[in-house]
Amino acid sequence: MKPNDFFTFNGGNELSILPKCAILFHQAKGLSDNSYGGQDFVASLHDFFVDDSKHETVIGAGRLMSKEDIETVLRTLLQMRQSKVNLMPNNIVSLSDNHIAWTVPEKIRPMLFNIIGMPMQKMTVPWPRLLLVANRDGKLAIAAVKGRNRLSAKTRLFHAPLMNVSNNGAVCTGSATVPIECGIEDLKQWESVMFDTAFSHVNNQLTLELGRKKKEVDT
């Protein structure tokens, strides 16, 4: 299938685009394992025709589309995208349409605390080297990294010794303004979510214990 399979382009003094066919997606149940769409939907292809009695365009009866038909449509849409080439900064670990992962070097920087029952506090502390992962769903995850070598699939990651971070690395962003995109140009905004907002609670008891005294050990 090609773009012209879906629309008719009329030239002349005024350009007009008329629909030729449409794809409808239907929720389905009980499909076999070899069906497309994760067994959740099927798609059908429909032609348009003009109802002379009502002088309007009507969608006609359709036919079910195969997995190959769906893949052809998706490939066509991908080919219509404008390609964009970016030079990758050294701190980028991985990048896709849905996520970006990058490292931030160790640095002494401010850390804000806004804990219930305590006044707002600001301390200047050493932050470790960090691996951050952001996605287009507005989620941010973080881990600590030892050393300064470039990361690989075998690099060992550590729990970040930070508040508001769960034991799986997920960051509780609270009321922070989260970027809607996750491209290279959005890194500073994502880092601001981590470095410029106040920590309020401990999510990972394996890294920090807030306001608790450790039991004395007899020697």
CA angle 175, 176, 178 (to 5 degrees): 120
* Rg, C-alpha atoms of the chain: 27
Residue type, 95: L
Residues 6+ apart with CB under 8 A from 140: 132, 133, 134, 170, 171, 173, 178, 190, 193, 194
What is the per-residue pLDDT across 150-202, written as a single tens digit (0 to 9) for each? Answer: 999 999 999 999 999 998 999 998 888 899 899 899 999 999 999 998 888 88
What is the per-residue pLDDT across 146-156, written as a single tens digit (0 to 9) for each? Answer: 999 999 999 99
Cβ pair 178, 184 in contact under 8 A: no
Residue type, 74: L
Task: Say what the pLDDT of residue 215 is.
Answer: 46
Residue 65: count of CB within 10 angstroms of its CB: 19
> What does the chain look like in DSSP terms, one character per residue?
--GGGTEEEE-SSS-EEEE-EEEEEEE--S--TT-SGGGSEEEEEEEEEEETTTTEEEEEEEEEPPHHHHHHHHHHHHHHSPP---PPPTTEEEE-SSEEEEEE--EEEEEEE--TTS--EEEEEEEPPEEEEEETTS-EEEEEE-SSSPP-TT--EE----TTB-TTSBB--TT----S--SGGGHHHHHHHHHSSEE-----TTT--SS-PPPP---
- pLDDT beneath 50: ranges in the chain: 1-3, 34-38, 214-219
User: Would the pTM of this model clear 0.75, i.e. be above it?
Assistant: no
Q: Tell the residue number behind the tokens 């629309």, with chain if given.
A: 7
Task: Say what the pLDDT of residue 214 is.
Answer: 45
Q: With CA atoms as reference, report the closest residue to 132 among 154, 162, 110, 97.
A: 162
